[in-house]
Amino acid sequence: MSDDSNLTPDAARRGRKPSEEKREALIASALALFAERGVDGTATREIAARALTTERTLFKHFGSKQGLVQAVVETVSFEMMQQAAYARMREPVLFTRQAFAEWHRAFLIDRIAAARAAPDTYRVLLQELLRDRAFGTRYGARWRETVFAPLVGHLAAMQAAGMIGPGQSAEALAGAFFSLNLGYLVSRFALGADPFGAAWADDRDVQAIVTLFQATCG
Amino acid sequence: MSDDSNLTPDAARRGRKPSEEKREALIASALALFAERGVDGTATREIAARALTTERTLFKHFGSKQGLVQAVVETVSFEMMQQAAYARMREPVLFTRQAFAEWHRAFLIDRIAAARAAPDTYRVLLQELLRDRAFGTRYGARWRETVFAPLVGHLAAMQAAGMIGPGQSAEALAGAFFSLNLGYLVSRFALGADPFGAAWADDRDVQAIVTLFQATCG
């Protein structure tokens, strides 16, 4: 029984999309609207309209608005880990200290641009990670495998090559790398806290974080 | 018109508490139950029963379960900043590097113990900070004043005394201090992520964070 079985012949003639495409259109539409207005400020009716479908189809696919939020966050978070900013991590080519600092800088600039383009994404992603422990576990496992472990590998290789001091384990350094980045991005884009009591400044802030991590590496 | 105006003479004779005490008892009861079972796993009926009052009184004070959650989080977060672990921050006595490292260690051990005693507190606090921007703003202002600014003062004084290298601003170092701590506590107690793919270990983890921050100070 087709997903479109409930459509009138008239609607079917207008060329409604098949089910999987509709699901993707709904996720894309929800993501755009959540980013613009936040989850609470977005009605399922608007999401459906923007995806050129009906609320009925939305609920058929996702059960509830919360179900749609989960699907959106799951999609966004896994796509995030596949983005260009992470690609260098997965290349098994030794970094120099300088090349690593440059990659770190580019990585942060990319993450800030992504967060600015969709200021609600971090907030919604974090909220879902906190709310839905099963999602947190899946996300954590994927993150360890695709992001954290490769970074540990690079830092360990740099340490073996004598480019980083032996004082701390590569795991601890990788943990510090993510804490510094996460602490900044969460403070700025999710919590909206401004510890400096002044405007955020991309270049100055990125420079400070890159320098801090370099100092951490000894 | 007293808060107890709706009580029967019989109830009044049993010595019901006045309003403010009831409010505090409800907050304490909610905090204990949220910590044990999470917000979703706790019914307002149970919270009221533990506070030796009624659901009706609970709703009179807080409007809704969400209103109670907000009141609990507000209380907890402001109390948190007044705790012993932060007291040394507000003493205008110069730290040595060694004394600072020892304070940092004690601070982390205290924060881990507090998070372990109430594993849901961080999660609920973060969720509320993400959900309620007005609360985030109030919390941020208070945090800057009572925690961040004093830390910046101490780091700047240590820098002026030549105990910390001049390479980074005291603000950036203080930001790194909180990112490292927050990244660890959030990963461990709110997200439940385990980047190391192994059990968390208090002593090893605290040592790693203290050492990382010391390295960051140059």
What is the ipTM, given to two decimal places? 0.70
Residue A189 is predicted with a pLDDT of 78
Contact (CB<8Å) B130/A129: no
Chain A residues with beta carbon closer than 8 angstroms to that of B190: 130
Give the list of residues 6+ apart from residue A1 with CB closer than 8 angstroms, or none. Answer: none
Whether the pLDDT of residue B198 is over 80: the answer is: no
**Closest Cα in chain A, distance from residue B193 (Å):** 6
- Please give the DSSP secondary-structure letter assigned to residue A15: T
Contact (CB<8Å) A215/B148: no
Looking at 1.10.10.60, 3.40.50.300, 3.10.620.30, 1.10.10.10, the CATH number of the domain B9-63 comes to 1.10.10.60
Whether the pLDDT of residue A5 is over 60: the answer is: no
Touching B: A residues 194-213, CB under 8 Å: 194-197, 208, 211-212
- Provide the pLDDT confidence category of residue A196 given band limits of 50, 70 and 90: low
Residue A15 is predicted with a pLDDT of 54
- Provide the pLDDT confidence category of residue B5 given band limits of 50, 70 and 90: very low
Query: In whole numbers, what is the pLDDT of chain B averaged over residues?
Result: 84
Residue A178 is predicted with a pLDDT of 87
Q: Long-range contacts for B61-66 (Cβ within 8 Å, ≥24 apart)?
A: B61/B19, B61/B22, B61/B23, B61/B26, B62/B26, B65/B39
Q: Are A51 and A25 in contact (CB under 8 A)?
A: yes
Q: Are A81 and A74 in contact (CB under 8 A)?
A: no
Assess A44–B contact: CB distance below 8 Å, yes or no.
no
Which three-class secondary structure state does DSSP give residue A38?
coil
Alpha-carbon gap, residue B64 to B55, rounded angstroms: 10
Alpha-carbon gap, residue B167 to B117, rounded angstroms: 39
Question: According to the CATH classification, is domain A70-216 in 2.60.120?
Answer: no
Burial category of A23 from C-beta neighbours within 10 Å (exposed 0-12, middle 13-18, buried 19 and up): buried
- Report, as an integer, the average pLDDT of B125-136: 80
pLDDT, tens digit, for every residue of A137-186? 888 888 888 888 999 999 999 999 999 988 888 988 998 898 888 888 88
Nearest CA in chain A to B124: A130
Cα-Cα-Cα-Cα dihedral sign, residues B78, B80, B86, B91:
positive
Q: How many helices (H) and strands (E) does chain B have?
A: 12, 0
**Closest Cα in chain B, distance from residue A135 (Å):** 10
3-state secondary structure B43-71: CHHHHHHHCCCCHHHHHHHHCCHHHHHHH
**Closest Cα in chain A, distance from residue B45 (Å):** 22
Whether the pLDDT of residue A201 is over 50: the answer is: yes
Q: Which one, of B30, B66, B36, lies nearest residue B49 by Cα?
A: B30
Q: Are A218 and A168 in contact (CB under 8 A)?
A: yes
Neighbours of B4 (CB within 10 A): 15
Residue A19 is predicted with a pLDDT of 86
Alpha-carbon distances of A147 from A91, A153, A178, B82, rounded to whole Å:
12, 10, 10, 37
Contact (CB<8Å) B167/A211: yes
CA A101 and chain centroid, separation = 22
- Please give the DSSP secondary-structure letter assigned to residue B38: -
Whether the pLDDT of residue A12 is over 60: the answer is: no
- Report, as an integer, the average pLDDT of B149-172: 93
Residue A7 is predicted with a pLDDT of 47
Residue A3 is predicted with a pLDDT of 46
Residue B17 is predicted with a pLDDT of 60
Residue A194 is predicted with a pLDDT of 62
* A47 vs B135 pLDDT, higher one: A47
pLDDT, tens digit, for every residue of A92-132? 899 999 999 999 999 999 989 888 877 677 778 887 887 77
Give the CA count within 13 Å in the CB-facing half-sphere of A67.
9
CA A189 and chain centroid, separation = 12
Domain boundaries in chain B? 9-63, 70-216
Give the list of residues 6+ apart from residue B113 with CB closer than 8 angstroms, or none. Answer: none
Q: How many helices (H) and strands (E) does chain A have?
A: 12, 0
